[in-house]
Structure 1
Amino acid sequence: MKKLVGLFFALVLMGSLLAACGDDEVTVATDTNYVPFEFMNTETGEMEGFDIDLIYEIADRVGFEINLEVVEFDGILAGMETGRYDIGIAGMTITEDRAKVFDFSDPYYDAGLVLAVRADEEEIQSIDDVDGRPVATRAATTSEDYLVENTDAEVRLFPDIVNAYQDLIAGRVDAVIYDVPNVLYYIETEALGEMKTVGDLLTGEQYGIAFPADSELRAQVNEALAEMKEDGTYGDIYEKWFGERP
């Protein structure tokens, strides 16, 4: 009888340990469509991209399972403020205002903003030429902040940047301002000679992974990022999506 009781408690303990292991699930919020960082593969129905590969590799190294939630970018920002999400990764620029509300990892990508126009556009040669003109970008991004703070353009905001590009090609706006890697990727893969960039790189920005304030995950993620950069894994993922090593 004692052996049976002992076996029963051993099984209960084992079940508790297994349950505890299964509790290491982290809710990660990502964007709906920011190519090539995160986007839906319509053939497989799975999210893909640089950020997706990056966070899954980090999860393997830190030791947690990912519960991936795909939401609009401004929803990620709101969710990080309330602590709804454990991690946010969505090509998110590290800014002073955001850093006051939630924490960031060490920077993992160097970016900036660039102006795009139709391929036959001749009057707009730089950001100095957009005053009074309809210029599109994505809502709740640093691109919107830049337009409002540095130009007198007629700002048109979209929840999805692809809609802004389509309005540009259709002639409904005169220019689009957005993050360099996304603009260049769209020009190369979708615009098919109908768009071009003009002017200089407008800002120097860095992307970071977001966490609620004082999250214990931040230090673990930073350690994993550092390891990935040192052993070449980060470079492999970067080359896969951008065609060259950083």
Structure 2
Amino acid sequence: MLAQQFWPAHESRLRQYSHWQGRLVVWLGATRHGRGGALKILRRRAVAFCAVLVVATAVFLVSRPAVESEQRWQALRARGVLRVGIDPGIRPFSFYGADGWEGMDADVAHEAARRLGLRVEAVPVGYDGFYDALLAGYADVAMSALVVDPMRTADFRYSRPYFDAGLRAVTFAALRLDRPEDLRGRCVVAALGSEADRLARWLERRTPGMTRRVAADEKEVLTEIRMGRCEVAVVSGQIAVREGCAPIDEWDNTAAIRCLRLRPVEHTIAMLGADGRLASELNRILLQMSNDGTLTRIARKWLTNRTADTADTDANDTNDTNR
């Protein structure tokens, strides 16, 4: 119809173009500009079209993961069950007891799920099977003394940490302990032959004035600083929290003990990369649990009983493997 309207009025001008060029010029409404003008308009409109196409593609690519993430979150809420892939052989974090799945991680999972309006279903898959279980859809999340694997961050997400099992410097003395440099001129004690002892040796070589001492075990290490024979002890995260340190923060202002994280081994929760909304919700809840003291209460519950006393070695072995 447009060609029929333009052709009689511009027949002589349009004859200079080939058939397809003439039709294009009519479509552009650019006959009054001549052939050069028509091509300029064509180029401008082509650029504009490409720009619109690029923007539309970018919006699609950006919004698609968000839409998928929201759909997965809504499906999880509708199901009402958070399937947690676990390794039930890592005391005191994750094991089977008289009441089923127990341990620090179990309590963290149950409390986080409760605040999200969900219930927990434990799915035993073993530490080496966490990521396969997530990919296969057997579990929504995985946790059991799990640490971030940098090689997997392209395909999986990790929550904010809820516990640090790594080595810490602790002191009962009223001295500044905010960074490793504060160990200058201090006496530092660690259990002979332990990972803490190896770190203390490394610190001694790099910290002027630091004096290193050794003790038979972590119990004696704590005795050394309680008796004032040494000022700072290097111990595992489990021991540090048992003595009063916060499970994830640098140190607790309300505690009589001061704590400095030296070599973090942060426990976290893994999920598929597509679960951005779930990760956001878990991070919100874990931060809430940290701020209101829930994580501290859960950690001290499991690290101050007899079960924890016999479990530090197993947990430390798992963390050494993770590193």
TM range (shorter): 0.5 to 0.7
Which amino acid in 2 is paired with 1:220? Answer: E
TM-score of the superposed pair, with normalisation by structure 2: 0.40
Corresponding residue number in structure 2 for 1:233: 294
Change (3 A) 1:102 1:240: same
Change (3 A) 1:232 1:202: closer
Return 5+ residue gaps in structure 1 as ranges.
Answer: 1-19, 114-123, 128-179, 185-200
The one of 61, 64, 78 equivalent to 2:118 is 64
Corresponding residue number in structure 1 for 2:101: 47
Which amino acid in 1 is paired with 2:264? Answer: G
Contact 1:112–1:204 at 8 Å: present in 2 too?
yes
Change (3 A) 1:58 1:35: same
Give the drift of 1:72: 1.2
Indicate the percent of aligned positions where both proteins have the same amino acid. 28
Alignment of 1:1-246 (within 5 A): 23-41=79-97, 44=98, 46-112=100-166, 125=193, 203-215=263-275, 216-243=277-304
Contact 2:165–2:265 at 8 Å: present in 1 too?
yes
Structure 1 SS opposite 2:138: coil
Matches of 2:149 and 2:237, distance apart in 1:
18
**What is the Cα-based RMSD across aligned positions, in Å?**
3.5
Structure 2 SS opposite 1:85: coil
Give the drift of 1:212: 0.8
Contact 1:80–1:211 at 8 Å: present in 2 too?
yes
Deviations 1:77-123 (A, max 9, x none): 3212444321111110113113222100011111238xxxxxxxxxx
Give the drift of 1:126: 6.5
Corresponding residue number in structure 2 for 1:169: none
Contact 1:92–1:208 at 8 Å: present in 2 too?
yes
Structure 1 SS opposite 2:296: helix
Matches of 2:147 and 2:296, distance apart in 1:
20
Deviations 1:20-64 (A, max 9, x none): 9762222111112101100111xx151110000000000000111
Matches of 1:74 and 1:111, distance apart in 2:
19
Contact 1:34–1:182 at 8 Å: present in 2 too?
no
Return 5+ residue gaps in structure 2 as ranges.
Answer: 1-75, 168-191, 196-235, 241-260, 306-323
Which amino acid in 1 is paired with 2:285? Answer: A
Matches of 2:238 and 2:90, distance apart in 1:
7
Give the drift of 1:181: 6.0
Give the drift of 1:214: 2.5
Contact 1:83–1:212 at 8 Å: present in 2 too?
no
Matches of 1:28 and 1:126, distance apart in 2:
33
Contact 2:289–2:295 at 8 Å: present in 1 too?
yes
Matches of 2:99 and 2:162, distance apart in 1:
27
The alignment of Structure 1 onto Structure 2 pairs a total of residues equal to: 150
Change (3 A) 1:22 1:204: closer
TM-score of the superposed pair, with normalisation by structure 1: 0.52
Matches of 2:293 and 2:239, distance apart in 1:
27
Structure 1 SS opposite 2:122: strand
Q: Which has the higher helix share?
A: 2
Contact 2:88–2:96 at 8 Å: present in 1 too?
yes
Give the drift of 1:202: 9.7
